Amino acid sequence: MMLEANEGDRLEKLKALAELLAEKMDEVKYVKDLPPLAKQYRETIREIEEIEGNVNEADEITEILRSRENNGKSGAVRKNKSTV
């Protein structure tokens, strides 16, 4: 479902964007190009769910990101590189 930028309502535009982002993620050639697309995809899906009323508040990742945001931290989560 591809829409022109000025066609459809907000929800339709978000769904078209999510579809486009998913296609772009499938086409990524370099792993370093995936994180920004994945982040935008997650944010787009979250916004679609909010509009449709399907927000899953019990989602563990959403809880972690919300907690980090509330503590003034970045949404980026970095794994500890040291091993014990």
> Looking at the domain assignment, is residue 3 inside a domain?
no
Q: CA-CA distance, 50 to 52, in Å (whole number)? A: 5
The residue with tokens 């829409």 is 3
- Residue 60 in any domain: the answer is yes
First CA to last CA distance, the chain: 49
Under DSSP, the state recorded for 7 is S
User: Which range marks the domain in which residue 17 is found?
Assistant: 10-67
Say what the pTM is.
0.58
Specify if 57 maps to a domain: yes
pLDDT tens digits along 26-62? 999 999 999 999 999 999 999 999 998 876 666 666 6
pLDDT at 33: 92
Mind listing the pLDDT tens digit for each residue in 54-68?
A: 766 666 666 777 777
- In total, how many domains does the chain have? 1
